[in-house]
Structure 1
């Protein structure tokens, strides 16, 4: 069974990601969805009134917990309309969203975390969406970032974007094999090192590493790395971009928030962030 963890805050962004997960679960059959909402109230919030001069009392917290549980159940019912056979669990945590995610991942096997990206026109629409990259960098399991307009499509073609010269350091093979083994797809490996060719030793190593997937190899000469990836994916009509958010990959630039948002904003298809 594949288990998908979907953090939600009841925004359009998060609900869109949840609906994507429901359609994915329909396609994958033996799968489970966990809808997670985090409601954290700090000691500071307990001492001071809110901007509208309301004091956060225990009674108000209890009322909010009930409202959130009801909202989770309502969202679950909407997902069951998409996939009536879906196995959906709801979870309300009183920790921060990141701590809540880590606790669930440590408690049970999670195959994929699915997060909605806010996109350019909804920058502040979802706290989860605005922190998608931070969550992905801290998550011990792969994270799928779903753009606002991305609709689920059967995954037939995937783009793996990496720097061929640093491939030894950046490809998490176990995670990659786990994902690709569940889909019969065409893998296109895109060199994002400014179109620079690699030498025969590097070429041999890369081909040996990815031999089981029978990929085709391509080079991007676009001066803007992210635009080059997105344009290539669009031209190839791919259904997913696979990227590597760790040191030495082009996702090292995710340390700069303005750059990190560009891929999830500009990409028209989901972006899968793999970890070791």
Structure 2
């Protein structure tokens, strides 16, 4: 069974990610979706009033929990309209969002975390969307970031962007094999550093590592890395961009929110942050 964890905060951004997850599950023979909402009330909030002079009492918390459970069930119903056969669990936790995600991943074999990213005009719309990259930093499993422009398409072609440097340390082969073994994908490897000398030994290592997937290799000299990747994905009509946010990789810079937000906003397809 493939299990997807979808953190939601009832924003349009999170709703978009949930709908994407439902369509993705429809394409899988055996998939489960966990809709997770984190409702954390700190000790500070329970003592002092909010800026609106509201004190978070036990009664207020109970009412909020009821509202959130109703919202989770409503979102589940929307997703079942997309995939009536989907197994969907609603899960309300009283921990912080990040702790809730990590705890759930440690309790159950989660294949993928699916998060929506905010668009240019919705920076404050979703706390989860605003913190997508922070979540991916701490997540022990791959994170799929769904941009606001990304509509679900059957994933047939994926772009693996790589700069051919320290490939043995950079490419998480176990995670990559896990993804590619479950989905019949045409893999395109894009070198985004072709303006510089390519280390032939590293290139040879990469060809050996990926030979079982029979990828096609492409080279780009676009002056803007992010634009180059997005442009290539669009020209090839790819349905997925695979990023490698690991030490030595140029995608390590994706862990800086400004760069990563730029990619997920400008991309028209989901970005998979792949980790071992």
Report the TM-score when normalising by structure 1: 0.97
Q: Could you say which residue in structure 2 is the equivalent of 1:126?
A: 126
Q: Which blocks of at least 5 consecutive residues in structure 1 are unaligned?
A: none
CA distance, structure 1, for counterparts of residue 147 and residue 17 of structure 2: 8
Q: Answer whether contact 2:245 2:255 (CA < 8 A) is retained.
A: no
> Are positions 1:174 and 2:203 aligned together?
no
Q: Could you say which residue in structure 2 is the equivalent of 1:195?
A: 195
Q: Could you say which residue in structure 1 is the equivalent of 2:152?
A: 152
1:197 Cα shift?
4.6
Comparing 121-130 and 162-171, the one that deviates more: 162-171
CA distance, structure 2, for counterparts of residue 247 and residue 199 of structure 1: 18
**2:27 aligns to what SS in structure 1?**
helix
Q: Could you say which residue in structure 2 is the equivalent of 1:102?
A: 102
> Are positions 1:45 and 2:57 aligned together?
no
What are the Cα deviations for residues 209-257 of structure 1, in whole angstroms up to 9, with x where unaligned?
0001000111121111111111111111100000011211122213432
Q: Could you say which residue in structure 2 is the equivalent of 1:216?
A: 216
Q: Could you say which residue in structure 1 is the equivalent of 2:164?
A: 164
RMSD: 1.0
CA distance, structure 1, for counterparts of residue 199 and residue 127 of structure 2: 44
Count of matched residue positions in the alignment of Structure 1 and Structure 2 = 276
Q: Could you say which residue in structure 2 is the equivalent of 1:12?
A: 12
> Are positions 1:258 and 2:263 aligned together?
no
What are the Cα deviations for residues 80-131 of structure 1, in whole angstroms up to 9, with x where unaligned?
0000000000100101110000000000000000000101111110000000
Q: Could you say which residue in structure 2 is the equivalent of 1:225?
A: 225
What are the Cα deviations for residues 151-175 of structure 1, in whole angstroms up to 9, with x where unaligned?
1111111000111122121100000
